[in-house]
């Protein structure tokens, strides 16, 4: 009798393994079938003109894709794991900001970009990267002090090590030997605006400065500290300082021509798009700094990168 039971179990188990194998394969087969099924309404969509509404695709009853166009009651995404706190900022100066946004846009397309393009043609990329490294190395005091003020001593030590190594072995900062795999001293991407953010100071409202671009009252402190802590600022006379700063800007721009254009092209309202991008970017930088300072509670500050499901299970 017992052996008989065992046999039934064995066949059952074997059957289930077969079933499971079948199941495990089904996604891959459906993945090849799905795009085909999907692509059938797509050409219709693409072929029709922009103004025309392709009602033809809805004539297919029971189509899973059409179901997705129905009303949806779960559109808040409030319980969504990726839903971060609302990233919005007051914008009382909108008319002024929009004008400045327009001004900076013209400055980029009429002055900065053409100059950077010409410069890019003459100077090879490795040389331009070295120039960028050189100026970045000079930005050490601001990053170092920011780390110290955030009580991020390991960050401060990293910055100090980088500055020493890159200045001596990196030919005055032209090369960046400290970020290679052996030393692995990465640049601490921080500033005074983030420092205030780490201590809980909010952005306040949005400002677009002429030439300098998106900012806020909080982040504007960085414009001040960057001025005083940046060695280039002490170049005398004024036109020499402006020349060097301008050159740095042209060099940096030459390495990222096309980024601004792509972002602007993709935006429906570029002003709002850049405002949102700036706020998201700064918010996550501050979050990352906070996470670095409080590694003991990663689930609180770093919920995005950690697995909340796993954490819950562990508790």
Q: 125-138 and 238-254 are packed helices; what angle lies between their axes, rounded to 10 degrees? A: 130
User: Nearest distance from residue 99's CB to other proteins, in Å?
Assistant: 18
| Residue 182 in the binding site for other proteins (CB under 8 A) | no
Indicate which single residue of 7, 14, 60, 69 sits in contact with other proteins (rule: CB under 8 A).
69
d(CA 62, CA 224): 62
Number of residues in contact with other proteins under rule CB under 8 A: 73
In the complex with other proteins, which residue's Cβ is closer, 136 or 220?
136
Residues 192-251, interacting with other proteins (CB under 8 A):
none
Q: Please name the residues in contact with 126: beta carbons below 8 A apart, sequence gap of 6 or more.
A: none
| Residue 306 in the binding site for other proteins (CB under 8 A) | yes
User: Nearest distance from residue 110's CB to other proteins, in Å?
Assistant: 20
Residue 213's DSSP bridge partners are 209
Backbone angles phi, psi at 205, to 5 degrees: -135, 175
User: Nearest distance from residue 283's CB to other proteins, in Å?
Assistant: 8
User: Nearest distance from residue 166's CB to other proteins, in Å?
Assistant: 16
Indicate which single residue of 1, 3, 122, 262 sits in contact with other proteins (rule: CB under 8 A).
262
Taking CA 277 as the corner, what is the angle to CA 189 and CA 288, rounded to the nearest 5 degrees?
35
DSSP assigned state of 181:
T
Q: Which two tokens stand for residue 265?
A: 């092209």
Residues 103-162, interacting with other proteins (CB under 8 A):
125-126, 128-129, 132
d(CA 32, CA 215): 47
Reduced to 3 states, what is the DSSP secondary structure of residue 63?
coil
In the complex with other proteins, which residue's Cβ is closer, 49 or 296?
49
Nearest to 247 by CA among 93, 127, 149: 127
In the complex with other proteins, which residue's Cβ is closer, 218 or 275?
275
Q: Which two tokens stand for residue 295?
A: 């590694």
In the complex with other proteins, which residue's Cβ is closer, 169 or 281?
281
Indicate which single residue of 105, 246, 284, 293 sits in contact with other proteins (rule: CB under 8 A).
284
Residue 90's DSSP bridge partners are 205
How far the first Cα of the chain sits from its last, in Å, is: 45
Indicate which single residue of 123, 273, 293, 299 sits in contact with other proteins (rule: CB under 8 A).
273
Residues 3-62, interacting with other proteins (CB under 8 A):
5, 9, 12-13, 16-17, 19-20, 23-28, 30-31, 34-35, 38-39, 42, 45, 50-51, 53-55, 57-58
User: Nearest distance from residue 241's CB to other proteins, in Å?
Assistant: 25
């Amino acid at each position: 009798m017992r052996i008989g039971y065992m046999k039934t179990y064995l066949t059952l188990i074997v059957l289930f393994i077969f079933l499971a194998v079948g199941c495990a394969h089904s996604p891959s087969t459906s993945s090849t079938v799905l795009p085909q099924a999907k692509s059938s309404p797509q050409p219709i969509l693409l072929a029709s003109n922009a103004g025309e509404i392709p009602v033809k695709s809805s004539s297919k009853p029971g189509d899973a894709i059409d179901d997705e166009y129905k009303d949806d009651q779960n559109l808040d995404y409030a319980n969504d794991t990726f839903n971060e706190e609302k990233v919005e900022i007051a914008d009382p100066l909108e008319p002024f900001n929009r004008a400045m946004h327009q001004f900076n846009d013209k400055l980029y397309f009429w002055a900065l970009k053409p100059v950077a393009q010409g410069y890019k043609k003459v100077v090879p990329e490795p040389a331009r990267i070295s120039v960028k490294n050189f100026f970045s190395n000079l930005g050490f005091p601001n990053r170092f002090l920011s780390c110290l003020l955030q009580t991020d001593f390991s960050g401060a030590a990293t910055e100090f090590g980088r500055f020493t190594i890159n200045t001596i072995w990196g030919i005055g900062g032209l090369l960046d030997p400290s970020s290679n795999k052996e030393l692995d001293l990465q640049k601490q991407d921080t500033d005074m605006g983030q420092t205030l953010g780490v201590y809980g100071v909010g952005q306040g409202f949005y400002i677009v400065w002429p030439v300098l671009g998106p900012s806020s009252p909080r982040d504007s402190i960085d414009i001040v500290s960057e001025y005083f802590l940046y060695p280039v600022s002490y170049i005398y006379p004024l036109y020499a300082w402006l020349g060097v700063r301008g050159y740095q800007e042209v060099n940096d721009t030459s390495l990222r021509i096309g980024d601004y254009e792509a972002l602007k092209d993709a935006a429906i309202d570029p002003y709002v798009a850049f405002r949102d991008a700036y706020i998201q970017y700064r918010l996550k930088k501050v979050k990352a700094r906070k996470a670095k300072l409080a590694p003991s509670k990663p689930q609180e500050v770093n919920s995005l990168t950690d697995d909340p499901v796993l954490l819950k299970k562990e508790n």
